[in-house]
């Protein structure tokens, strides 16, 4: 199996002769079938959402779909994960039917393997994207993506619906945790790394950029609801991550399920053709999201029926419809071509892209059959990378109070002595550590947890010793009586520290909609009750979005954000609390202080005006890129070679760093720019560069940063990317340097 390390456009050219010969031999029915994608549940025994167990293909349904209707793509898992053996059975069976149709074109199988092989039993699960973003480590992202590719390819699946390149700029949005955070540069670099890991490794698969574009910035914060985003802002913030990944050769794109400025994106020809194809040069496959063509007439109300919805989406530029349960799209598209409403040449455009992708992935050579089962990789090959990603994601937000062993030191690290009392609704849950899209869509079923992987209490017991850890279970909906039980247990066990595992249980998409961003009231009540005990208290947040807790923040001596760190997250948290790992995670988003104050770091100057008219209006709980370590690194110097630059120049910045502690520190260096005057109101800060550096104990070092002047650009009122001459400054930590850009 081969997947060329090239842009999609280059791949189209290299496969043109073969693909054209296949295309010329296809009937209209063959072509429309290639543009149709069904879910595995549509061809399994039983009802789509309630398949008979053990799951297996339904002979009549599979023949009807794959032979009679020539369906060219199948996705996902029939509602839960499967063993590699079962995946081989499914894939081989599907390709067996594909060989019975006249064209014999193999089926393209896709899956949501978004934080490791999420639908494969005993696979290695890594942090969700928001946790990977907190590592700010592109190499780790790339390596874990490559490992994911190896495992799902071993199942016979060549197409992954990942990465998500939507920005996480509103934590109310339930898919916030599927993003790389709020910043375009961070999302771009992490997204490119993930695409490269999927597509350029030893056993490459196709990546899918989700969801083109502006999906995560809805007015209400709810999933699949309207967004109002002017084109300038779309280009300034939401387009760069997709453009970067397209330039890196991403093979496919999935469309935003929502609407922008009153136009459902699945009908938006400007977005899907004029911008995506003509301007950005994307030549890969554009696939819809789940049922989104049908939703054009059942939810968006812009089409009168399925046929009109199909016409609108095809004219807009989609190539493949994730139907995914019936043949309404197939029938409608056939009728539209036969009556002349859509030309067959338009159909050929989409089918050619699909065939090119199948050729790139080697399906014509292998018949789409899975590799030998004995070649399925051992999970041990990938565990270290996943564990390291979990470790590097854990973010220490606060560290005050007193350590009972050494009162001169803050409460963390806990060290080798002292008893821990652990409680909270996420303390005993491996599901909480993994989040949604884990084993099942919502990730809540304990049956599909990876055997032998520890939840937080088990991990703490393993790391600290079972005699040092006492725990009490709490459900998410615990009440006052349960808090009283916990307090009595603390009084009886007399611990040295209390660890509160806070946060959320898994969710995604519409079931995760939440109108209140505040930390749950019962968890706040627990914090207050424990605080009255007078014991050093550590809050550990295991959650997919930053819930606000300003009123109880003072009652915790140390606060750790674990995000959704995956199967190795429990041990990663334990290592950080114990001190065997010096925390290095940094926030990829701004943590709001109040539920309605979710303003991003790159806000405008007017957003800093408070009610007293002083510049205190922007007052987050924790700032973007914030994170502590056990050995602080200070920025001691910031210098430029010159104070004036021309448009084509490169700025050379020297950053002096000093580790004031006694431990080696994995430090994040962020360079933010400030544009003094601009034709579009400038942001207070914009991230322009970041890098991680290791700084030894008491070491001083200099980091050299090269920043092309053109990277200070923004999108102006004429929708052009420009750098305007004038005064600028650069900031690293609390130090800034000023310079001018000449005309």
For the stretch 142-180, pLDDT in tens is 999 999 999 999 999 999 999 999 999 999 999 999 999
Instruction: Give phi and psi for 255, each to the nearest 5.
Output: -90, 145
Q: CA torsion, points 258, 290, 438, 391, in degrees to nearest 10?
A: -40
Q: Would you state the pLDDT for residue 596?
A: 85
Structural domain total, the chain: 3
Percent of the chain predicted with pLDDT > 70 = 98
User: What is the token pair recorded at 237?
Assistant: 């913030």
Q: Would you state the pLDDT for residue 14?
A: 75
CATH of residue 635's domain is: 2.60.40.10
Q: Would you state the pLDDT for residue 15?
A: 87
Residue 151 lies in a domain: yes
CA distance 55 to 42: 12
Query: Is the domain of 564 the same as that of 637?
Result: no
Query: Is the domain of 360 the same as that of 405?
Result: no
Query: Is the domain of 109 the same as that of 13?
Result: yes
The model's pLDDT over 391-407, given as tens digits with 9 standing for 90+, comes to 999 999 999 988 888 88
Q: What is the mean pLDDT of residues 225-244?
A: 98
Residue 604 lies in a domain: no
Q: What is the mean pLDDT of residues 664-682?
A: 98
Q: Would you state the pLDDT for residue 698?
A: 97
Q: What is the mean pLDDT of residues 265-284?
A: 98
Q: What is the mean pLDDT of residues 82-88?
A: 98
Arithmetic mean of pLDDT over the chain: 96
Q: What is the mean pLDDT of residues 600-606?
A: 97
Query: Is the domain of 329 the same as that of 451?
Result: no
Residue 679 lies in a domain: yes
Residue 27 lies in a domain: yes
Instruction: Name the band, by pLDDT with cuts 50, 70 and 90, for residue 12.
Output: low
Q: Would you state the pLDDT for residue 2?
A: 38
Q: Would you state the pLDDT for residue 739?
A: 98
Please list, residue by residue across 143-172, b when 16 or more beta carbons sit within 10 angstroms of its beta carbon and e when fewer do.
bbbbbbbbbbbbbbbbbbbbbbbbbbbbbb
Q: Would you state the pLDDT for residue 7?
A: 40
Q: Of 318, 346, 375, which closes a domain?
A: 375
Among the listed residues 30, 170, 289, 567, the single catalytic one is: 289
- Tell me, yes or no, if 289 is annotated catalytic: yes
pTM equals: 0.96
pLDDT at 567 over 80: yes
Query: Is the domain of 399 the same as that of 466?
Result: yes
Query: Is the domain of 513 the same as that of 472?
Result: yes
CATH of residue 402's domain is: 3.40.50.1700
Q: Of 342, 375, 408, which closes a domain?
A: 375
pLDDT at 4 over 70: no
Q: Which domain holds residue 199?
A: 8-375
Q: Would you state the pLDDT for residue 9?
A: 45
Residue 609 lies in a domain: no
Percent of the chain predicted with pLDDT > 90 = 95
Query: Is the domain of 98 the same as that of 217?
Result: yes
Residue 381 lies in a domain: no
133 contacts: CB under 8 Å, gap ≥ 6 = 179, 180, 181, 186, 187, 190, 588
Partners of 82 in beta bridges:
120
Query: Is the domain of 357 the same as that of 398?
Result: no
Q: Of 533, 559, 578, which closes a domain?
A: 578
Q: What is the mean pLDDT of residues 612-620?
A: 92
The model's pLDDT over 302-332, given as tens digits with 9 standing for 90+, comes to 999 999 999 999 999 999 999 999 999 999 9
The model's pLDDT over 24-78, given as tens digits with 9 standing for 90+, comes to 999 999 999 999 999 999 999 999 999 999 999 999 999 999 999 999 999 999 9
Contact 177, 564 (CB under 8 A): yes
Dihedral sign for Cα 135, 137, 141, 146, please: negative
CATH of residue 66's domain is: 3.20.20.300
């Amino acid at each position: 199996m081969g997947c060329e390390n090239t842009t999609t456009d280059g791949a189209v050219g290299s496969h043109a002769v073969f693909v054209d010969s296949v295309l010329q031999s296809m009937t209209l029915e063959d072509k429309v079938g290639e543009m149709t994608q069904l879910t595995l549940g549509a061809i399994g025994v039983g009802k789509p959402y309630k398949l008979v167990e053990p799951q297996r293909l339904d002979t009549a349904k599979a023949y009807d779909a794959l032979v009679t209707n020539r369906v060219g793509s199948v996705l996902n898992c029939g509602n839960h994960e499967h063993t590699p053996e079962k995946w081989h059975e499914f894939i081989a069976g599907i390709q067996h039917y594909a060989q019975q149709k006249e064209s014999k074109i193999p089926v393209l199988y896709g899956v949501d393997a978004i934080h490791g092989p999420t639908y494969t039993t005993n696979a290695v699960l890594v942090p969700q994207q928001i946790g990977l973003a907190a590592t700010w480590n592109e190499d780790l992202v790339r390596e874990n993506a490559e490992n994911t590719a190896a495992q799902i390819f071993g199942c016979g699946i060549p197409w992954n619906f990942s990465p998500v390149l939507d920005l996480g700029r509103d934590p109310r949005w339930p898919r916030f945790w599927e993003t790389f955070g709020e910043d375009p540069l961070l999302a771009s670099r992490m997204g490119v790394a993930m695409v490269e890991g999927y597509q350029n490794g030893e056993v490459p698969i196709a990546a899918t950029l989700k969801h083109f574009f502006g999906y995560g910035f809805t007015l209400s914060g709810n999933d699949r609801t309207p967004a109002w985003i002017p084109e300038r802002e779309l280009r300034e913030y939401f387009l760069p991550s997709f453009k970067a990944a397209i330039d890196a050769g991403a093979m496919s794109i999935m469309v935003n399920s929502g609407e922008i400025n009153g136009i459902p994106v699945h009908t938006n020809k400007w977005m899907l053709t004029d911008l995506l194809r003509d301007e950005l040069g994307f030549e890969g496959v554009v696939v819809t999201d789940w049922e989104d063509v049908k939703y054009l007439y059942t939810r968006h109300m812009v089409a009168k029926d399925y046929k009109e919805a199909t016409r609108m989406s095809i004219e807009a530029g989609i190539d493949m419809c994730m139907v995914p349960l019936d043949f309404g799209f197939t029938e409608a598209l056939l009728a539209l071509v036969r009556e002349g409403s859509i030309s067959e040449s338009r159909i050929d455009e989409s089918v050619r892209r699909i065939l090119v992708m199948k050729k790139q992935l080697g399906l014509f050579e292998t018949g789409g059959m899975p590799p030998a089962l004995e070649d399925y990789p051992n999970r041990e090959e990938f565990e270290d990378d996943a564990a390291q990603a979990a470790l590097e994601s854990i973010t220490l937000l606060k560290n005050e109070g007193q350590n009972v062993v050494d009162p001169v030191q803050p409460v963390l690290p806990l060290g080798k002595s002292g008893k821990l009392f652990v409680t909270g609704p996420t303390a005993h849950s491996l599901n909480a550590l993994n989040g949604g899209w884990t084993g099942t869509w919502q990730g809540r079923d304990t049956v599909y947890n990876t055997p032998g992987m520890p939840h937080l209490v088990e991990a703490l017991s393993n790391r600290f010793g079972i005699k040092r850890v006492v725990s009490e279970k709490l459900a998410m909906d615990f009440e006052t009586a349960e808090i009283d039980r916990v307090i009595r247990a603390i009084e009886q066990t007399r611990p040295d520290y209390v660890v509160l595992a806070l946060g959320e249980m898994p969710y995604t998409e519409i079931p995760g909609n939440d109108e209140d961003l505040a930390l749950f009231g019962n968890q706040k009540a627990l914090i207050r009750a424990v605080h009255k005990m007078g014991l050093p208290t550590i809050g550990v947040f295991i959650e997919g979005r930053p819930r606000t807790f300003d009123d109880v923040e003072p009652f915790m001596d140390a606060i750790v954000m674990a995000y959704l760190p995956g199967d190795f997250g429990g041990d990663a948290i334990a290592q950080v609390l114990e001190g065997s790992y010096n925390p290095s995670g940094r926030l990829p988003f701004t943590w709001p202080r109040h539920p309605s104050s979710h303003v991003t770091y790159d806000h405008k100057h007017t957003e800093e005006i408070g009610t007293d008219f002083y510049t205190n209006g922007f007052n987050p709980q924790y700032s973007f890129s914030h994170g502590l370590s056990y050995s602080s690194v200070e920025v001691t110097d910031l210098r430029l070679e010159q104070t004036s630059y021309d448009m084509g120049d490169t700025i050379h910045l020297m950053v002096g760093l000093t580790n004031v502690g006694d431990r080696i520190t994995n430090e994040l260096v962020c360079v933010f720019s400030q544009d003094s005057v601009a034709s579009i109101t400038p942001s207070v800060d914009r991230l322009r560069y970041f890098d991680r550096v290791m700084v030894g104990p008491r070491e001083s070092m200099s980091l050299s940063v090269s920043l092309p002047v053109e990277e200070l650009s923004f999108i102006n009122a004429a929708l052009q990317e420009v750098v305007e001459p004038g005064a600028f400054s650069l900031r690293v930590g609390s130090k800034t340097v000023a310079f001018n850009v000449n005309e």
